[in-house]
Amino acid sequence: MKRSESNRGRNVRLLAIAVMLPLLAPGSVLSGQEPAVIGNASHSAPASVSKDDLAERLRRIVSDPVLTRAHVGLAVQVAETGEVLFENEAEKRFVPASNTKIVTAAVALDALGPDYRWTTRLVADGTVRDGVLAGDLWIVGGGDPLLSRSDLAGWIPLIREAGIRQIEGDLVGDDRVFEDGQWGEGWMWDDLFGGWAAGVSGLQLHPNTVRAWLIPGTNLGDPARVELRGASPALPIDNRVRTGAPGSEVRLRFLPPPEGGDVRLEGWVPVGPDSVPLYLSTPHPTLYLLDYLRERLQSEGIAVIGGVRRADPEERPSSPGWSTDLRSEPLSEVIADMLKPSDNQVAETVLRTVGREAGDGGSAESGIEVVDETLAVWGIDPGAVSLADGSGLSRYNEVTPNAMVRLLRAMWRHPEFPIFESAMPVAGVDGTLRRRLLGTPGESNVRAKTGSLSSVRALSGYLRDGAGETLIFSLILNGYDAPGDVAVALEDLLVEQLALFRRPVAPGWPEYRNVP
């Protein structure tokens, strides 16, 4: 109870800050509209304010006592001219969390192009006679980041059309298009069993996750039961969870598997009618896809006599027969599926693809080499962006707010900017911003990427201010000890100030996309 009251007190103080700031009334200009012509504004239009006034308001927000122990980085720039409106610790490096995906998306669009597609191949390794494939069925992955369960269901008619009713051999998954292991450098080991840290492979389902319920027993001390939601191969979990007292807290933890064993889940759930939802990663992505496909084939009357396995390092189909290629959605759509919901699996897959297409192997490291080369071309100083993965799960990632703003401005002038911008979450509309900035001048205006780890918050993107200028901003908080909702409130308050900023601009003021 005391903790709840403390949080409420902080929120009240934030509201007080908002009231004390001399806010401007919301303007009518939102993202995508033409810049306002101040000379023709009606008498009800809000008065203009100076750059110094804006800086003072922002300074008061980033200096709030709730951030006393936090590191606060902020950079704000006018896209059309490159004018810097405000900086706070903008050249210091911060852990960016999922703002890392901005870098991954931008470099992928530049390096691969919006029409890039991934190819998955089905190959019958042997002859088909009287409905029997005398050999293995290979699934050769191309790194498709959005290969779904419905896609696998669509393979069944293709296999039938090839005359296959029984597979004498194995289902073989070839995931060698990527060189890395399934996890990123610097990922926390106790995250690896959660769905947000699902592994990555050259052949994988999306999402590579399983949702389940943890159902308490009838009496105190009874074992709790894991029940999968929907059709799915069983998860290898050593479930040690017990039933606790009514009204007690849920306490769960995953322990790494011992050598050759299964992941262990320990803890307590309260007795009663309520189950506890679980969002879990699968075992190895390739093997899980093969298990799922095998079950689906069997249920559709196509028998698989053998088992499932990954291709050996030097193995190839010995006598390939029937085959078919399956193409993914274009990168332009994949980028939106990555940025709007902040999908870690897609981001890691895209980064590895960038490295593979550069000819340096399908690894995160090779993708990061392309990132470094691209950012150098865009005028971003070496060391201002240092990445270990493509999603932001790694705490080894570091960026400066100024570097993030420079990258966003480079994309604002990039030929693929419309695709990049439309892939961003939109405040009050979709993605990770769908419930934020509602009823404010930021609603339907702010297009930005969120980021969140424990003690890390980030928000970077674009908005139109009250005069129609395009403002680029990057706010990164590290080391804060306030509740997460308080950090979000501060982010939103700051963005509202940017959206409300209005100063005179010349009639017909252009976009100046090519200004350095």
Hey, which bits of 334-446 come out as E strands? 385-386, 398-399
pLDDT band at 257 (very low <50, low <70, confident <90, very high): confident
Backbone angles phi, psi at 489, to 5 degrees: -60, -40
- Classify strands 71-78 and 470-478 as parallel, antiparallel or unpaired: antiparallel
Res. 37 pLDDT band, cuts 50 70 90: very low
Q: Where are the domains of the chain?
A: 2-114+332-500, 119-180+285-328, 209-281
Task: For residues 182 and 288, give the distance between their C-alpha atoms in angstroms, rounded to a whole number.
Answer: 13
The pLDDT of residue 319 is: 87
Asked, as a colleague might, if the bond just before 418 is cis with ω within 30 of 0, I would say: no
Residue 335: Cβ within 10 Å count:
27
Catalytic residue among 281, 342, 366, 394: 342
Return the closest-CA partner of residue 502 out of 10, 17, 35: 35
pLDDT in tens, 342-392: 999 999 999 999 999 998 789 999 999 999 999 999 999 999 999 999 999
- Please report the pLDDT score of residue 36 as a whole number: 34
Place of tokens 């960016």: 96
Residue 307: pLDDT over 60 = yes
Active site residue 98: yes
> Exactly one of 98, 201, 332, 391 is catalytic; which is it?
98
Q: How confident is the model at residue 10 (pLDDT cuts 50, 70, 90)?
A: very low
Q: Where are the alpha helices (DSSP H) in 24-99?
A: 51-62
Over the range 183-200, which residues count as b (16 or more CB within 10 Å of their CB) and which as e? bbbebeeeebbebebbbb
If pLDDT is split at 50, 70 and 90, which confidence band does 397 have? very high
Specify whether 454 is catalytic. Answer: no
Q: Give the per-residue pLDDT at 47.
A: 66
What pLDDT score was predicted for residue 23?
46
CATH topology of domain 119-180+285-328: D-tyrosyl-trna(Tyr) Deacylase; Chain: A; (3.50.80)
What integer pLDDT is reported at residue 260 of this predicted model? 64
pLDDT of residue 5: 34
The reported pLDDT for the residue numbered 256 is 79
Give the span between the Cα atoms of 92 and 71, in whole angstroms.
9
Over 70: is that where the pLDDT of 63 sits?
A: yes
Residues near 260 by Cβ (< 8 Å), separated by ≥ 6? none
Q: What is the structure's pLDDT at 34?
A: 37
pTM for the predicted model, two decimal places? 0.88
- Give the model's confidence band at 511: pLDDT under 50 very low, under 70 low, under 90 confident, else very high: confident
pLDDT of residue 283: 85
Residues in the chain: 516
Residues 69-83: tens digit of each pLDDT:
999 999 999 999 999
| pLDDT score at 330 | 98
Class of domain 2-114+332-500 as given by CATH: alpha beta
Give alpha helix (H) positions in 63-165. Answer: 100-112, 149-161
Q: Give the pLDDT score at 165.
A: 97
Q: Is 101 a catalytic residue?
A: yes
Q: What is the pLDDT of residues 450-485, one digit of tens each?
A: 999 999 999 999 999 999 999 999 999 999 999 989
Residue 445 has pLDDT above 80, yes or no: yes
Determine which of 10-24, 211-225, 426-440 has the lowest per-residue pLDDT on average: 10-24
Strands 225-228 and 166-167 turn out to be unpaired
Q: What average pLDDT does this structure show over 389-408? A: 98
